[in-house]
Structure 1
Amino acid sequence: MSSVKNIKIKSSKVLLKAELPAVLTIAGSDSSGGAGIEADLKTFTAHNVYGLTCITALTAQNTQLVKTFEKTPQSLIESILELNFQDFLYGYEKDDQPLKVVKTGMLTTETVRVLAGYLGEFKKYNVRLVLDPVMVSTSGSSLFKVEDLEFCASNLFKDAYLITPNFVEATTLLKVLDGAEIKEIESLEDLFEFVKKLQNVLGCENLLVKGGHLPWSTKSNLPLKQVIKGEEEDVVIRDVLYESKSDSLTVFESAFINTSDTHGTGCTLASSISANLAKGERLNNAITLSIDYIHKGITSMGRKLGYGNGPLNHMSTPETNVHSVIVADSVPLKHTNVLDFFKEHPKVRDNWKAYIEHDFVNQVANNKLPFNRFLYFLKQDYYYLINYAQIHALAASVAPTYGQTHSEAVIIGEVINEIERHKEKLCKEYNIDYERDRDLDIELQPGKACLDYCDYLLKIGKSENFLGIKVALAPCLHGYAEAGIYGKSIKQHDTTDSETSKVYESWLNDYSSDWYLNAHSEGQKALNILFEDQHIDEERIDELVDIFNTVTKLEVSFWDEVLK
């Protein structure tokens, strides 16, 4: 008789559930997997975005050529789009629908006819339309007919949030749709004029002209006809964005990579931008992060795939913090003490006062807090501390120096010790065992305020750089020190000498003790040193203020819930 093994898989408890915005890609299928629908889906997955599809044509291609393709019938396009929209767009509140962006690649006249009928729905639900006008593959195969282009221009372009042609496609668009002779680009001013003229012809809200086919010399600041081998370090690529509403131009300058393995980079860039927009990034940031993703995808590819123009590595991890990929000019803070800068900022000042002088602290200091509420706080705080240690671990993983990694490891050890003391106190004094009782005692489950706080910190831990994470962790460390001092200053003498009074006094003593105030002081010094080593622009400072302020308000909500 055959032996039988019985393997039981335990149910995993998920602390943080993913919220996946959706992007619909309407494009051709690339049988070699490097471009089209296949590239889009890989890119969406890498960006933690849910991908929907509508395949406009099946192609027979590889890295060397596109041999042939078959269009999807218009009736099938109609069914695909309608079913996707019924499920991911219709019936939701405005801006609450899963579908945030529709991205197009290789389009057919049949597809444009159907898609044009939904433009009103896109406006109704604030769905952004990103058009990548795919005309020629990297191998040089034509994928677009002039009549298709003209039909697309008259039916879609003016309703697009963003159109992303490369320079070759951009010149083709201008020639076909405007009939004008293309002036040779000899300066940045020429390029700006070209981009603005094309946007005026297309009528789209925003236009990004990609510069991969037009490298620039950093020495002469002129475009190059060709790049001479060995001079790549003096060559850059300049992608130009024109935003019509603000009449503003942005130049994204990045290093030139001398390679022919760029199959699918156009599709991938557009789908990366779409994914970042779906996640709520501003357009400039979405493009910046996406250009970096393309660079990583090209440079992280080890063994070349295919005999022709190889694909990039879609599995490279996208950056989520724009300030980790750009060079910025430093803006000095107005305070020598960084913590004081954040606390005294107009956005934060009132919230910080509400935090350290919270009624929870007042009630603890004056023995007026019902003990069952304090016990609830201890249960919630136990869960929070576990999360707090995890965020320091995430900070350690992105720390720029060995010393900072070591500091985070020390902090994690101290937090673990505090968790163990917490656990011992709950068990010894109140007969509460977190592991044993968490499925039986509802108060051992994280409340909404605790979950909101922990989810936000995890989000910051996974999306921010070391500086951003440290700013997010600062209100907890420093706020409890100031709350402990405040509580001691208002504490009245208790004549009853009750057990509750002793517990509350012990809690205040912990956070106003020499060891904790020393941690408070060392934390401020570390924050000051960290900011001294950073190049920070004004926009980044505002973002850090928002992070600090959000965490401060979450601390207030944490104690609000305890009192309720």
Structure 2
Amino acid sequence: MNAKTSIAVTIAGSDSGGGAGIQADLKTFSALGVYGASVITALTAQNTLGVTGIHDVPPAFVGAQIDAVFSDLAVDAVKIGMLSRPEVIEAVAEGLDRHRLATVVLDPVMIAASGDRLLVPDAVESLRALLLPRALLITPNLPEAAALLDEAAATTPAGMRRQAERLLAMGPKAVLIKGGHGEGPESVDVLLDAEGVLELSAPRLATRNTHGTGCTLSSAIAAGLAKGLPLRAAVEAAKTYLSAAIGAADRLEIGRGHGPVHHFHAWWR
């Protein structure tokens, strides 16, 4: 008898340049041995130089995709990324409830690596109220954590811990604040869960090819959870995978701007 196939679903926007969003998520799932399915919430006209357009998928059709996928596939974990409007956030929250989905990694995508805003301002409160309480883990970077809390970005691990505590009080089971936007030789992420605080450090690598790092990390965590790893083990494995993908990014020559990380660094030679 064959072993059960681990399945993860990404609910996010599409990146036409292939480096972030749905495309990065599906590449990550595949690289980590997990079958990936998708619910597309928005289309972006995007490349390594920036975002030139966003076309939102109607909320009812987002719900239809959720129902189609989850009524058929035995889904083990869900990653949520770009949700640009309150109505789409509401459709996703209702879909999670309909299908009783609990293993949810929420990456609160607000601004692209190019600096382009991906979330309309009035959607932030919907994100706080409707999706944070439904998440097993949220994975904001430093600017996203600050935006969720309406305060300045943290500049130290101690500041990150304080912000993680405030975000945890909003309802998620765990918070991972990513330190990639910080400074210094080490990139420090801070995880706060039921066991307490865990700091994860990795050398800060010198490359401009960092497009899709947040999407890749959150989908790698979802892949680990889909395969049955405990939360902390899934986060640690995802951090290791992403660090290697960033380290190999300069082996790719993609575009003229911020290129993608190398999702298949272990496979392409």
- Alignment of 1:309 with 2:264, yes or no, is no
Partners of 2:66 and 2:95 within 8 A in 1 = no
Query: Could you tell me which of 46, 56, 65 is aligned with 2:31?
Result: 46
Q: Is the partner of 1:33 in helix, strand or coil?
A: coil
Query: Tell me, what secondary structure is at the counterpart of 1:58?
Result: strand
What residue in structure 2 maps to residue 192 of structure 1? 161
Q: Which amino acid aligns with 2:159?
A: D
The residue number in structure 2 matching 1:141 is 116
State the AA in 2 paired with 1:213.
H
> Which of 256, 281, 284 in structure 1 is aligned with 2:204?
256
Aligned to 2:192: 242
Residues 28 and 59 in structure 1, CA contact (< 8 A), matched pair in contact too? yes
**Are 1:211 and 2:211 matched, yes or no?**
no
Query: CA separation in 2, counterparts of 1:17 and 1:35?
Result: 32
**CA–CA distance in 1 between the matches of 2:181 and 2:148?**
15
Question: Which protein is richer in strand relative to its size?
Answer: 2
SS at match of 1:51: strand
Amino acid paired to 2:69: N
Q: CA deviation at 1:60?
A: 0.5
Shift of residue 275 of structure 1? 0.3
Say if 2:84 is the partner of 1:101.
Answer: no
Distance in 1 between residues matched to 2:244 and 2:232, nearest whole Å: 19
Equivalents in 2 of 1:50, 1:100: separation in Å?
A: 10
- Say whether the 8 Å CA contact 1:112–1:155 is kept in structure 2: yes
Aligned to 1:115: 92
Residue type of the partner of 1:237? S
Number of the residue aligned with 1:279: 227
Q: Does structure 2 retain, via aligned residues, the 8 Å contact 1:215–1:238?
A: no
- How many residue pairs were aligned? 265
- Post-superposition Cα deviations, 1:442-464, rounded to whole Å, max 9, x if no partner, equal xxxxxxxxxxxxxxxxxxxxxxx
Q: Partners in 2 of 1:308 and 1:300 — Cα distance?
A: 17
CA contact (8 A) 1:109 1:151 kept: yes
Equivalent position to 1:299, from 239, 247, 259: 247
Would the aligned equivalents of 1:265 and 1:294 in 2 still touch at CA under 8 Å?
yes
For structure 2, the residue ranges without an aligned partner over 5 or more in a row are: none
Q: Which amino acid is 1:80 matched to?
A: Q
Partner Cα separation in structure 1 for residue 266 and residue 203 of structure 2: 19
Deviation at 1:32, TM superposition (A): 0.4
Distance 1:164 1:73, change over 3 A: same
Deviations 1:239-262 (A, max 9, x none): 00001x34x000001111022210
Query: Which structure has the higher relative contact order (CA within 8 Å, separation 6+)?
Result: 2
Equivalent pair of 2:60/2:91 in contact (CA under 8 Å): no
Matched residue SS, 2:72: helix
Report if aligned partners of 1:137, 1:143 keep a CA contact under 8 Å in 2: yes
Determine if contact 1:195/1:242 at 8 Å carries over to the other structure. yes
Stretches of 4+ aligned residues off by more than 2 angstroms: 16-19, 108-111, 118-123, 181-185, 187-191
Shift in Å at residue 22 of structure 1?
A: 1.0
Measured on the aligned residues, the alpha-carbon RMSD in Å equals: 1.8
Aligned partners of 1:293 and 1:317 also within 8 Å: no
CA distance in 2, matches of 1:314, 1:189: 31
- Looking at structure 2, the residues matched to 127 and 168 of structure 1 have their Cα atoms a distance apart, in angstroms, of 26
Of all paired residues, the percent bearing the same amino acid is 38
Q: Give the number of the structure whose alpha-carbon radius of gyration is greater.
A: 1
